[in-house]
A and B are shown apart, each in its own frame.
Chain A
Amino acid sequence: AQTVTQSQPEMSVQEAETVTLSCTYDTSESDYYLFWYKQPPSRQMILVIRQEAYKQQNATENRFSVNFQKAAKSFSLKISDSQLGDAAMYFCAYRSASWGGSEKLVFGKGTKLTVNP
């Protein structure tokens, strides 16, 4: 079974600075997707960024980028120019892309990000 591990329960960053959230995963599959979701205090789950495992290029979305290391099974999220609105719980998630594979998202335990003014 696939597992996702987020080793940082909490992180903090100063406004306008850069922070990196860590995520590692375990799988025997070669074809999969990885996601970062943001959960603000409202508790809604908001997609931040998505990475296909077959793509070598790291995904970017404005101030958000990932460092995807397939061999190391590592998928970290970098937030540049942090803003107060980035304060939230961040979840790393895995989903199989194998034909006939599981459709479910497997989540890590999350990292609570605090942004200090």
Chain B
Amino acid sequence: EPEVTQTPSHQVTQMGQEVILRCVPISNHLYFYWYRQILGQKVEFLVSFYNNEISEKSEIFDDQFSVERPDGSNFTLKIRSTKLEDSAMYFCASSDRTASTSTDTQYFGPGTRLTVL
């Protein structure tokens, strides 16, 4: 069964450094999302992406964050200058909501655990 994949599974970085989190969505999906979950807290929406542009973003998604689809398979989240409070689990998700048979369900990857020291 097709699934969303994410790399790396765990990333440790120093405060102020740039990180790029990578995701490979399910191949026929056209909508992509990033969420984050700070340890012990609820999952929070960051951004959605469709047709090579951001379609929606949350207040959390400030100028330190950016997303990109550099090729036909990858979808990346970049944090330019990491802060301690960026430590969280970051989930990528994708959906096929444009398909006529779509269930409009978002399928999640296994997550990348980001630790900022």
Residues of A whose CB lies within 8 Å of any CB of B are 33, 35, 37, 42-47, 50, 91, 93, 95, 97, 102-110
Q: Are A47 and B43 in contact (CB under 8 A)?
A: no
Which residue of B48, B91, B113 is within 8 Å of A103 (Cβ)?
A: B48
Which residue of A47, A50, A104, A109 is within 8 Å of B42 (Cβ)?
A: A109
Question: Which of B33, B42, B48, B58 has the most chain A CB atoms inside 10 A of its CB?
Answer: B42
The 10 A-B pairs at the shortest CB distance, nearest first, are namely A104-B45, A45-B108, A107-B43, A44-B110, A103-B48, A109-B42, A107-B42, A103-B56, A43-B111, A43-B89
| Known contacts A35-B105, A103-B33, A104-B33; A42 and B110 CB within 8 A of each other | yes
Q: Are B110 and A104 in contact (CB under 8 A)?
A: no
A46 partner residues in chain B, CB cutoff 8 A: 108
Interface residues in B, total, Cβ within 8 A = 27
B104 partner residues in chain A, CB cutoff 8 A: 33, 95, 97
Instruction: Say yes or no: is B31 at the interface (Cβ < 8 Å to chain A).
Output: yes
In the assembled complex, how far is the CB of residue A98 from the closest CB belonging to chain B, in whole angstroms? 12
Return 7 A-B CB contacts under 8 Å, by A number: A43-B89, A44-B108, A44-B109, A45-B93, A45-B111, A95-B104, A95-B106
Q: Are A91 and B43 in contact (CB under 8 A)?
A: yes
Instruction: Say yes or no: is B101 at the interface (Cβ < 8 Å to chain A).
Output: no
Instruction: Say yes or no: is B65 at the interface (Cβ < 8 Å to chain A).
Output: no
Q: Are B35 and A103 in contact (CB under 8 A)?
A: no
B110 partner residues in chain A, CB cutoff 8 A: 42-44
Q: Are B56 and A47 in contact (CB under 8 A)?
A: no
B58 partner residues in chain A, CB cutoff 8 A: 104
A97 partner residues in chain B, CB cutoff 8 A: 104
Contact with A along B88-116 (1 / 0, CB 8 A): 01010100010000011111111101000
